[in-house]
């Protein structure tokens, strides 16, 4: 951009990735009707006033194309898997996730998944907002240190909160937290997707072995 005499929107790969995630999230929000017309200056603006509660975007250097994965529930589907969605208001907001689990028929009323519900859990996917989430913590440190990225601390905090709620995610599943939540959920929080099985016991594990 500079060689062509144009302004550079990003000077580092991290800044470029943030812009990519933000633009992708706003694109999802526009498609789902969560946001209206998006202007270029809205992407990663200081206020992050626009957001999608359904988007989870990742970015990395070197990719030659964009990939889109849509997770949802369809009437008449033959799949044994279902998805529940929640939006964490901050990095410790497991209450919102517990409510979403309850609405999906997975009991977490005691602050932790019941044994029955835990058997059906496949995975928990979440986004963590690095800068805003850390504003809530009295942590000491320099966020410019190369080995102390804010997103790493945010992912650890969100992952720990989810671990307390859902346990170890079972032998067939896992907890995955992705950093960088520009325009994805409220500042400091982020969207969460829980994928679970409608089956129990031997029937569930048979489907696991057969690849669902």
Report pLDDT digits (tens) over 130-144. 765 555 554 444 444
Closest CA to 188 of 137, 139, 110, 129: 129
pLDDT of residue 11: 77
What is the spatial distance between Cα 208 and Cα 212, in angstroms, rounded to a whole number? Answer: 5
Above 90 in pLDDT, residue 32?
A: yes
pLDDT of residue 135: 52
Q: For residues 85 and 16, which has the higher predicted lDDT (pLDDT)?
A: 85
Q: Which fold has domain 81-209?
A: 60s Ribosomal Protein L30; Chain: A; (3.30.1330)
| Residue 158 reports pLDDT greater than 50 | yes
Whether residue 211 has pLDDT greater than 80: no
pLDDT class of 210 with cuts at 50, 70, 90: low
pTM: 0.79
Domain boundaries, the chain: 81-209
């Amino acid at each position: 951009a500079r060689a062509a005499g144009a302004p550079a929107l990003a000077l580092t790969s991290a800044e470029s990735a943030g812009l990519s995630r933000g633009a992708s999230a706003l694109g999802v929000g526009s498609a789902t009707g969560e946001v209206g017309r998006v202007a270029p200056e809205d992407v990663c603006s200081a206020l992050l006033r626009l957001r999608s509660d359904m988007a989870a975007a990742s970015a990395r250097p070197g990719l030659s194309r964009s990939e889109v994965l849509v997770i949802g529930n369809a009437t008449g589907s033959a799949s044994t898997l279902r998805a529940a969605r929640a939006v964490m208001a901050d990095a410790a907001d497991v209450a919102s996730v517990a409510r979403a689990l309850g609405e999906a028929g997975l009991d977490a009323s005691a602050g932790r998944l019941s044994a029955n519900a835990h058997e059906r859990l496949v995975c928990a996917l979440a986004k963590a907002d690095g800068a805003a989430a850390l504003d809530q913590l009295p942590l000491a440190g320099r966020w410019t240190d190369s080995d102390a990225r804010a997103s790493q601390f945010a992912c650890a905090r969100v992952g720990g909160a989810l671990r307390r709620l859902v346990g170890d995610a079972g032998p067939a599943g896992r907890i995955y937290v992705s950093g960088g939540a520009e325009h994805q959920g409220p500042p400091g929080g982020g969207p969460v997707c829980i994928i679970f099985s409608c089956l129990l016991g031997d029937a569930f594990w048979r489907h696991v072995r057969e690849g669902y």
